Amino acid sequence: MKVYVEKPKCTGCQHCKDVCPVSVFELRDRTKQDEVNADVAPPEMQWKGQSDPAVVQKWGQVQDGHKHFADTNDGTSGGISVAVNGSACILCQACLIQCEGECIVIDDEAGNTYHSIYQ
Ligand code: SF4
Ligand code: SF4
């Protein structure tokens, strides 16, 4: 399994990390571009310092008890998610329905691709 995060769309909600049973995700500081991009995501999904405007418009002002687009993670939210352990994914799909930015993509060994849709 390969797990990718489209990082410009990541709000830092941390839902992926909270629901993943096999610790695929880690939240890293937005200001540390090299650390955020130290995974297998293709170039177009990597963090270049600019969040996707459409996702900012959707989530930037939402008050739901955790931070959106904050530079650093405080243990509950903030930063950007990095799929540091994608090979452990068991395709439970929990992250795919919890991802605010709809920015998680998973490729399985059979060539199927799964995209996150927030529910
Ligand atoms: S689909 Fe994979 S990455 Fe997502 S929560 Fe389940 S095990 Fe973790
Ligand atoms: S659930 Fe999606 S938007 Fe939230 S931190 Fe994870 S990848 Fe980013």
Ligand at minimal distance from the CA of 92 is 1
Residue-wise pLDDT for 82-112, tens only, equals: 999 999 999 999 999 999 999 999 999 999 9
Ligand 1 test: best mutation among 15, 93, 118, most atoms within 8 Å of CB?
93
Q: Which two tokens stand for residue 71?
A: 């530079």
- Are the C-beta atoms of residues 115 and 96 closer than 8 Å to each other? yes
Regarding the beta carbon of 67 and ligand 2, being less than 6 Å apart is answered no
Average model confidence (pLDDT) for the chain? 96
Q: What is the pTM of this model?
A: 0.96
Q: Which tokens belong to 20?
A: 């993943």
Strands, DSSP E only, in the chain?
A: 2-5, 25-28, 80-83, 104-107, 113-115
Give the integer Cα–Cα distance in Å for 85 and 23: 7
Task: Please report the atom of ligand 1 found closest to the CA of residue 1.
Answer: 2
